[in-house]
Amino acid sequence: MPMKNLQYNFADRYETKKIALTDIDLTDTTYRITTQADHGDLVRSITDVGLLNPPILTIKKPSFVVVSGFRRIHACDDLGWNEISVRILNSDTTHHECTRIAIADNSFQRSLNLVEQSRAIGMLIDIFGDINSVTKINSSLGLPDNPSLTDKILSIRSLPLFIQRSILDDTISLAIALELGKFEQKTADLFLTIFQQLKLSFSKQKEIILLANEVALRDNVPLICILEDEYMRNVLDDKEIDRNKRSDKIRNYLKRKRFPEITRAENKFARNLKNLRLGTGTKLTPPKNFEGINYSLTFNFSSLKELKDRKAILEHLISNSGIRKILER
């Protein structure tokens, strides 16, 4: 059933009435999508202007089941209400229709977060059975209609709750969450501890996961041993230095372990470059990861005098034994 038809006929599919709060079975969360537990904002709103948008319920004798409006009902309960105005769907409303109403009523009131989207897509998958069928109706429900993205978001619902919570508090992205979902819980938890303590960007999180995993695979040791080694623990526990410096220390440490040859080449280059004493306005750049043979020399100048100075530096550089040490691999 297209969603626009469901919306068009919705007024004919329910009756509005007052019922006792005790007649609602709040333990049945079949249609619950929201992840927000706090409803203080709704308490304040309902106190000020009343319940403008009554919850939607379906009949499941001997009580009613919530299709949409869990937070509104809890807010009214907090206010001490005995009765509440609700919209009760007709008894012939199917589970399929209830699911779509629940998703639409949530997604068209606000943007759903990734965990909520995962719940909604999972509810549709349970009905339709495959991603392609779901994505055909997703846009009408305010959900992503790209099959690949839909499949990734769906994966969230099978992730441990502590990873889902980290998505909700914006500690990690969807891509990082899916990576952490591949690891044992203790390992994933250690990564999250590092990310939370250091407030790392998503790109730096990805770098740390990649480096640590590659070192563990190369050395044939459990990944958790890399994360728990003494140096890593000491850096994380060192509150005398700020988060950025601790982040740099950990990333550089993992990089040295992963690429010892590149690290040695970088250190050698830095020593020889210092001995060249190029000064400001001149920059010598080595090949990326020292895998090529082409170096780059850059001059900055704003006058003829500075250009002559740069020329003198170039002539000095050509005759300097230090440059030969750099070029000899």
**Residue 6 pLDDT exceeds 50:** no
Specify the 3-state DSSP secondary structure of 240.
Answer: coil
Return mean pLDDT, the chain: 87
pLDDT, tens digit (0-9, with 9 covering 90-100), for 190-240: 999 999 999 999 999 999 999 999 999 999 999 999 999 899 999 998 888
pLDDT, tens digit (0-9, with 9 covering 90-100), for 149-199: 999 999 999 999 999 999 998 889 999 999 999 999 999 999 999 999 999
Tell me, yes or no, whether 61 and 153 share the same domain.
no
- Please give the Cα distance from 296 to 285 (Å, whole number): 5
- Structurally, the chain folds into a number of domains equal to 4
67 alpha-carbon distance from chain centroid = 28
Tell me, yes or no, whether 90 and 129 share the same domain.
no
Q: What is the mean pLDDT of residues 235-254?
A: 90
Type of residue numbered 329: R
Tell me, yes or no, whether 106 and 137 share the same domain.
no
Closest CA to 237 of 224, 220, 250, 225: 250
Q: Which of 206, 227, 258 is the last residue of a domain?
A: 258
Q: Is residue 141 assigned to a domain?
A: yes
Tell me, yes or no, whether 23 and 92 share the same domain.
yes
Residue burial 141-180, b: 16+ Cβ < 10 Å; e: rest: bbbeeeeeebebbbbbbebeeebbebbeeebbbbebbbbb
Q: Is residue 182 assigned to a domain?
A: yes
Q: Is residue 163 assigned to a domain?
A: no
Q: Is residue 134 exposed (0-12), middle (13-18) or buried (19+ Cβ within 10 Å)?
A: buried
pLDDT, tens digit (0-9, with 9 covering 90-100), for 70-114: 999 999 999 999 999 999 999 889 999 999 999 998 888 888 999
Tell me, yes or no, whether 4 and 105 share the same domain.
yes
Tell me, yes or no, whether 119 and 189 share the same domain.
no
* Torsion angle of the four alpha carbons 32, 34, 38, 44, in this order, in degrees rounded to the nearest 10: -90
Tell me, yes or no, whether 181 and 241 share the same domain.
yes
What secondary structure letter does DSSP report for 270?
H
Percent of the chain scored above 90 by pLDDT?
Answer: 50
Tell me, yes or no, whether 190 and 177 share the same domain.
yes
Q: Is residue 4 assigned to a domain?
A: yes
Tell me, yes or no, whether 40 and 59 share the same domain.
yes
pLDDT of residue 55: 94
- Please give the Cα distance from 149 to 158 (Å, whole number): 16
Q: What is the mean pLDDT of residues 278-290?
A: 82
CATH code, 70: 3.90.1530.10
Tell me, yes or no, whether 245 and 287 share the same domain.
no
Alpha helices in 59-173 (DSSP H): 70-78, 95-107, 114-128, 131-138, 147-155, 161-168
Tell me, yes or no, whether 103 and 46 share the same domain.
yes
DSSP letters for 154-222? HHGGGS-HHHHHHHHTTSS-HHHHHHHTTS-HHHHHHHHHHHHHHT--HHHHHHHHHHHHHHHHHHT--
Pairing, β 56-60 against β 24-25: unpaired
Cβ distance 151 to 130 under 8 Å? no
Specify the 3-state DSSP secondary structure of 280.
Answer: coil
CA distances from 274 to 1, 283, 310 (A): 72, 11, 17
Cβ distance 158 to 166 under 8 Å? no
**Residue 5 pLDDT exceeds 50:** no
**Residue 7 pLDDT exceeds 70:** no
- Please give the Cα distance from 326 to 272 (Å, whole number): 7
pLDDT, tens digit (0-9, with 9 covering 90-100), for 309-321: 888 888 888 888 7
Q: How many CB atoms lie within 10 A of CB 239?
A: 9
Provide the residue range defining the domain that includes 308: 263-327
pLDDT of residue 277: 81
Q: For the chain, how long is the longest CA-to-CA vector?
A: 95
Q: Is residue 164 assigned to a domain?
A: no
What is the chain's length? Answer: 329
Q: Give the confidence band of 9 by pLDDT, cuts at 50, 70, 90.
A: low
pLDDT of residue 11: 62
Q: Which residue has the tokens 């992503």?
A: 144
pTM of the prediction? 0.72
Q: Give the confidence band of 10 by pLDDT, cuts at 50, 70, 90.
A: low
Q: Is residue 179 assigned to a domain?
A: yes
Tell me, yes or no, whether 145 and 179 share the same domain.
no
- 301 backbone dihedrals φ, ψ, rounded to 5°: -155, 155
- 166 backbone dihedrals φ, ψ, rounded to 5°: -70, -30
- 209 backbone dihedrals φ, ψ, rounded to 5°: -60, -45
Q: Which of 72, 91, 110 is the last residue of a domain?
A: 110
pLDDT, tens digit (0-9, with 9 covering 90-100), for 124-145: 999 988 888 888 888 888 898 8
